[in-house]
Amino acid sequence: MALKVLIVDDSPAMRNFVRRVMQLSGMDVERYFEAANGAEALDIAAATPLDAVLTDINMPVMDGEEFVRRWRETADGKSTPVIVISTDATAHRIHNMLALGASGYLQKPFGPEQLRNELERVLGAPHV
Amino acid sequence: MFRAQDTDALVAALLDSCCEQVLETMFFSPVLDHAAPEESNGKDRIHTQLRFHGKPSGAFEVDADFPVARSMAACFLGLDESEVSPAQIEDVLAEFSNMTCGSALSSLGRVEYFHLDTPSTTRSSGFTPAIEGVRRGFQMEAGTLGVCLRVDFEQE
């Protein structure tokens, strides 16, 4: 099954990098959606069925914590995997994001293999 | 009990390993050797600085010969160097600052939590350090790249 993936990051360069790494990973992606903050991501998620969300934490307007918390309160957001991508790998931050409802956590720097492994872990099946 | 020189040595080792890992994994750019950024005086340089808050707080800066920053941006974005805009170079160097600082703080061991401010970027002629801290320099294919981290444990 080809995936519909939402990438949430305020940096256009980082969104571009994540898309490239997804392509290099060999994951079968049907379409990428992009949002520059949590508020934009909630709008896209409300209008589009998604298979996975990859989100940054530090963003203007609405950060990743607020986005995950709010999206998990919606019907669609309860079951769709969310992977947090962040430089912050302190136990405090990881615990907080997982408690809010994140399905996985990927620390920068990362490459195609790490991203694919984490996506397949939260999706529960290979999507190559 | 930690002594200041122990902490500085630990931060220096972390900066070396984090920079190399970030550059190789996400910028596909190997570090060739250690270098003194002061040797780039008079060259076109780009400088990024950010502050972080939490336990502990502090500051981080990156300074690079402009050709190094342009090469990093091209590798990160998957573009030819001639296609990279000045805004993209600033955006990518800011990402490098975030990643390297966050990676070093996460590995430091004595960090409970932190929040990174948005980096600010400026152009300059020559090496213009803005913060006092543990400074490391790297020789890249296109020139030198320097980083500096100051961790204010005493303000916890």
Domain boundaries defined on chain B: 4-155
- Residue numbers in A near B106 (CB within 8 A): 87-90, 107
Query: What does the pLDDT read at residue A96?
Result: 95
DSSP character at residue B38: G
Q: CB distance B94–A11 less than 8 Å? A: yes
B21: contact with A, CB 8 A cutoff = yes
Which letter, b or e, does each residue of B88-111 get, where b requires 16 or more Cβ atoms within 10 Å of its Cβ?
A: bbbbbbbbbbbbbbbbbbbbbeeb
Q: What's the rounded Cα separation, in Å, for the pair A112 and A24?
A: 6
The predicted-structure confidence for A72-92, as pLDDT tens digits, reads as follows 999 888 889 999 999 999 999
Mean pLDDT on B71-86: 96
Structure tokens that stand for A70 in this block:
């709010």
Mean pLDDT score across all residues of chain B: 90
Three-state SS at A30: strand
Q: For testing the chain B interface, which of A87, A93, A97 should be mutated: the one with the most B CBs within 10 Å?
A: A87
CATH class for the domain made up of B4-155: alpha beta
Indicate the residue of A17, A58, A90 with minimum beta-carbon distance to B26: A17
Q: For testing the chain A interface, which of B27, B90, B92, B121 should be mutated: the one with the most A CBs within 10 Å?
A: B92
The H or E element spanning position A13 is: helix A12-25
CATH class for the domain made up of A3-122: alpha beta
Indicate the residue of A17, A93, A108 with minimum beta-carbon distance to B103: A108
Q: What's the rounded Cα separation, in Å, for the pair A70 and A85?
A: 18
Q: What's the rounded Cα separation, in Å, for the pair A106 and A55?
A: 10
Query: What does the pLDDT read at residue B67?
Result: 95
The residue extents of the domains of chain A are 3-122
Indicate the residue of B25, B103, B114 with minimum beta-carbon distance to A111: B25
For the ranges B117-121, B126-130, B137-141, the lowest mean pLDDT is seen at B126-130
Q: For testing the chain A interface, which of B21, B25, B147 should be mutated: the one with the most A CBs within 10 Å?
A: B25
Q: CB distance B111–A90 less than 8 Å? A: yes
| Residue of B79 and B4 predicted with greater confidence | B79
* Burial group, residue B55, by CB count within 10 angstroms (0-12, 13-18, 19+): middle
Distance from CA of B149 to the nearest CA of A (A): 16
